[in-house]
Structure 1
């Protein structure tokens, strides 16, 4: 699980500031809030190597709140996250976002139409009625924010609850009068971190749903052509082929989200279920404190014990009483993405020269960046194990070979019909369930023949009576 209070936002951008800035942020735990004191070369009015005094700290804190303006209190009632601040921070991170050109919009629309036509042969699920849309990074931020709100709010709310429950009773009583201010501070902190993560994702996103999450509005098939063009350049693959491949994945995913009505709710409710059970575990910190033996009175022993603390993890651990929700989420994402891998490969492999290369590039992207598990860890606070997408894809291929396209896709009719996590490691067991449940063709044909003979016999008897 994530070690932070519900959110973990590693910044892996090697261009994000120079080494000196990174060192300052690592040494100064208040740097994220704009406080520059107590470390490094010192800021204005703070000599190098000299910690700022309480007056400096309070002054900088006041300046920070003043700079935030209305952001401190300007949040929707009932929200545990300052989403207005999150959107502003994300927009600052992506910078200028050029408008989508008419030619790009046309290319997206035509690519989705072509992809849907080809996918018709690879699945029995009909095409969705989703409206084609070409987005830039800012469009992605604005249009996906409602779903991020739904998923992030429960996590933040329950994290606030868990933090309060982890405090001693006396401390909780003392916090009472400051509850409003602390809620606003937490909402602002969550908003800053959410904005940072969403800004990064907006620059990676290729479609409205390519992280395996239904974050785009319902009935909208969105593609980000500028981000797709960057992929084309990096891989050395013609832009038109990249766009059609991305469109095929989005079109396939839209078929699932449209014609499998329980799927979106199951994905989102798993996040909500996980959040409801959040709790903070400080037992390892308490154990370390007991072992310090601070009452021994031996200064040398005390110094040795304190030295041992340097290499210990003193971060409170975040767990959930509903860990099974995470496992279900991992399996469902793997099944969705694995099914899409199979459908897109069957639809495109004979039609696009670079289809196999693009599929492998997508698999690497899933494993190393912009993947569903990273999106959850960075934004929703759930650190998933790497979904077994390759195993899921192999399962769907074998199901197709064993029982055909129609029977394979009928599995999506009800969540109870889906493969389990165990089936991903043992697909043969799932294939057996399909074979046991598959219709007996010979029996059906024999029954039809008998029924036809009886019908003819009855018709003959009626003629005789006349």
Structure 2
């Protein structure tokens, strides 16, 4: 059925897609700009599994990375990273009772970061992409879906192709900025693999007035701290990724909203230009107002990311306080970088509607530091035993009041200890609910 044939009824007449297919002209059988548009999409619309063509997205990301030199790290550079992570883990042993979570180390090029992190990006992005692609058809009135079926299939592929292109561009830009495997706060690499992207590390070190060796060590400390937290808090990885997928499940496309946005955004769109058509996505065409459930998921993710980054910031600060004179300067540089974000993070936020950078890192770091000062490292790290124990947004509003009543346990004499032990042994048998704190030696001061 041709939308450009006046003798045939337009199945999209009176729907949000009428103006779109009017702009595309005779894309489905007649002459017009739409034909050129779909010719550009052809390479992205090859058969593939899932809602996105990840092969095409990966190719686009690698092309973006190849615009600048991206040397593969040498064996000497890999050894340098391994030595820095080993020293970092030794220092962190004095700052937290969580044992090391590092099993392997690596020095990555930007291209290697793309390959190593793609499995997790698939988990994060595909639910959102699938909902957006399916939502194109769901936005139509039910009585129109049958006659519009063939064209809807092509439109769904086109939307998926544009999203694959956008994902590739976003990941390519991120690859040019990330410093470590855990730099965005999410566990993107393989569990236990501590990695630094050395080309980006060198670029970050420029202009700081700090030796590159100190920069490498400081970032190794942060990476090793991330690995400890995710290795010892078994629920945290699924909790963060679950917040993203919960957001995707709540995504709903509303026909009237899409129609209104199309009318605004199709002005000046050149259907023969793929980049021009991508502006439909960049402009928020398929980014409807968030539902209460989505807002809750995003809030949960934002707070959790801030708590993760704040814990890492606080623990690394504690580990370096008496050992690394440049740590305070590097800490502030990292904080400012994370707070400001960059073009790559903004691109990805526009695509999936998610902010990758924590807005409240300083508040979270203050909260963890205050709790440690009052109650010790064990109490601070014990908050991670269960997600229900995590601080809330209200706690971050007043971080020094979080568990303000908590104080460090008093030292017991030998007689008092024996008395308390007898009470415990004479009490009811059975384990205490929720006692799944990590094993390990008592933390040192």
Which TM-score band (shorter chain)? 0.7 to 0.9
Matched, 1:377 2:349: yes
CA separation of 1:286/1:215 partners in 2, compared to 1, >3 Å: closer, same or farther?
closer
Deviation, 1:232, is 1.4
Which secondary structure state, in structure 2, belongs to the residue aligned with residue 234 of structure 1? coil
Q: 1:208 aligns with which of 181, 184, 190?
A: 181
Q: Which has the higher helix share?
A: 1
CA separation of 1:160/1:451 partners in 2, compared to 1, >3 Å: closer, same or farther?
closer
Query: Which one has the largest radius of gyration?
Result: 1
Matched, 1:391 2:371: no
Gaps of 5+ in 2: 1-19, 25-29, 263-282, 426-445
Q: 1:64 aligns with which of 40, 47, 55?
A: 40
Which secondary structure state, in structure 1, belongs to the residue aligned with residue 176 of structure 2? helix
CA distance in 1, matches of 2:106, 2:36: 44
In structure 1, the partner of 2:441 is none
CA separation of 1:247/1:285 partners in 2, compared to 1, >3 Å: closer, same or farther?
closer
* 8 Å Cα contact 1:400-1:408 kept in structure 2: yes
* 8 Å Cα contact 1:130-1:254 kept in structure 2: no
Gaps of 5+ in 1: 1-29, 36-53, 290-312, 456-466
Q: 1:155 aligns with which of 120, 128, 151?
A: 128
CA distance in 1, matches of 2:80, 2:300: 37
In structure 1, the partner of 2:56 is 85
* 8 Å Cα contact 2:303-2:358 kept in structure 1: no
For residues 258-297 of structure 1, the aligned pairs below 5 Å read: 258-281=231-254
* 8 Å Cα contact 1:163-1:280 kept in structure 2: yes
Which secondary structure state, in structure 2, belongs to the residue aligned with residue 318 of structure 1? coil
Which secondary structure state, in structure 1, belongs to the residue aligned with residue 102 of structure 2? coil
* 8 Å Cα contact 1:211-1:371 kept in structure 2: no
Matched, 1:241 2:219: no
Q: What whole-Å deviation, never above 9, does each CA across 1:358-383 have from its counterpart, x for those lacking one?
A: 11111111122259974751453324
CA distance in 1, matches of 2:346, 2:290: 18
Deviation, 1:433, is 6.3
RMSD of the alignment, in Å?
A: 3.2
Q: What whole-Å deviation, never above 9, does each CA across 1:4-42 have from its counterpart, x for those lacking one?
A: xxxxxxxxxxxxxxxxxxxxxxxxxx9xxxx9xxxxxxx
Which secondary structure state, in structure 2, belongs to the residue aligned with residue 213 of structure 1? coil
In structure 2, the partner of 1:406 is 378
Deviation, 1:227, is 1.0
* 8 Å Cα contact 2:287-2:353 kept in structure 1: no
TM-score, structure 2 as length reference: 0.76
Matched, 1:192 2:162: no
In structure 2, the partner of 1:446 is 416
* 8 Å Cα contact 2:102-2:224 kept in structure 1: no
* 8 Å Cα contact 1:111-1:244 kept in structure 2: yes
In the comparison of the two structures, how many residue pairs are matched? 374
Which secondary structure state, in structure 2, belongs to the residue aligned with residue 431 of structure 1? coil
CA distance in 1, matches of 2:284, 2:47: 34
CA distance in 2, matches of 1:424, 1:373: 23
Matched, 1:177 2:150: yes
CA distance in 1, matches of 2:122, 2:389: 30
